[in-house]
Copies of this chain bind each other. A is one copy, B any other.
Amino acid sequence: MDLKTYLSERKTLIDQALECYLPPGNGPGQRVVEAMRYSLLAGGKRLRPILCLAAAEAVAGNVEQVMPVAGALEMIHTYSLIHDDLPAMDDDDFRRGRPTCHKKFDEATAILAGDGLLTAAFEVLAAAATNHPAQASVYHEVVQTIARAAGYQGMVGGQMADLLAEGQPSTLEQVEAIHRLKTGALLTASVRSGALLGGGSARDILALTHYGEKFGLIFQITDDLLDVEGESAEMGKPTGMDAIRQKATYPAVMGVAAAKNQARDLVAAALVDLQPFGERAEPLRQLARYLLVRRQ
């Protein structure tokens, strides 16, 4: 398979689904729907939904049926970006090469757009569950998995810890703990949800969850490396900001070379998790390798 073609085809499918889950609004609150769509349809990599669909593929699941869950994951990811970019948080002006939501609209609208996307994600999940009554218990587990990964025991807790750690000296353990919550939890949940809904066995789900946990760590290490070594134009946002903000990052605590080695070792280990799945896990395999060479 050619990863570039695969990613581009999947992104098209996901973008179409997102457009359908969040059509243009009307009525008194229309402005918030515009802001939600501005950020959601701004053309991200769609990594979380792609991981979710690829995990369903790995267990020979029905990709189409998993799409609402994939869409909900992207909605949750986008809400978190909108809120993280706010002046009271990371105060970022650019995202995906465009003004951030609060710059394009205003702070109040951006706060509400994030709230609206987070809520819409659970609405999409509930609607999907309603359409598949025979799989109710799997949907419940998926929603619990995603809610836990997104909430105070996951992403929200990680963003809190990340803000508190700014300007503080950090150990490797602290950096790992923060990133496991802030970024890792939702990436792992994306893989796990796909495996669950795709109908994987308990053993499959466990192996793919382990892959997902490693994927989350590799993603964060390479994300930190891109902030040190990446090109601002390709990233769609300024680079070098972590150092300026004294953020807790892998290169900062272990150095660039050691961080690169760590990422490579984790990819090798993630590939071992995928062994039982043979050819069906080829997208997940290539996605892990891709993290090492990505430029955005």
Point out residues on A near B: beta carbons under 8 Å.
Answer: 25, 27-29, 31-33, 36, 79-80, 83, 86, 88-89, 106-109, 111-112, 114-116, 118-120, 122-123, 125-127, 129-130, 133, 136-137, 139-141, 143-144, 147-148, 150-153, 156-161, 163-164, 174, 177-178, 181
The 8 Å CB contact of A150, one of B119, B125, B163, B164, is B119
* Chain B residues in 8 Å Cβ range of A115: 79-80, 83, 114-115, 118, 156
Q: Give bound CA distance, A123 to B143, whole Å.
A: 7
If A116-B156, A144-B126, A151-B123 touch, whether A161 touches B29 (CB-CB below 8 Å) is yes
If A29-B161, A137-B133 touch, whether A118 touches B120 (CB-CB below 8 Å) is no
Contacting pair B116 A151 (CB below 8 A): yes
| 9 A-B contacts (beta carbon < 8 Å) | A27-B153, A27-B177, A29-B157, A86-B111, A112-B156, A122-B122, A123-B143, A129-B143, A136-B136
* Chain B residues in 8 Å Cβ range of A116: 151-152, 156-157
Identify whether the interface residues of A are mostly helix, strand, loop, or mixed. helix
* Chain B residues in 8 Å Cβ range of A29: 152-153, 156-161, 181
Q: Give bound CA distance, A117 to B270, whole Å.
A: 33
Q: Give bound CA distance, A153 to B25, whole Å.
A: 9
* Chain B residues in 8 Å Cβ range of A114: 115
* Chain B residues in 8 Å Cβ range of A130: 137, 140-141, 144
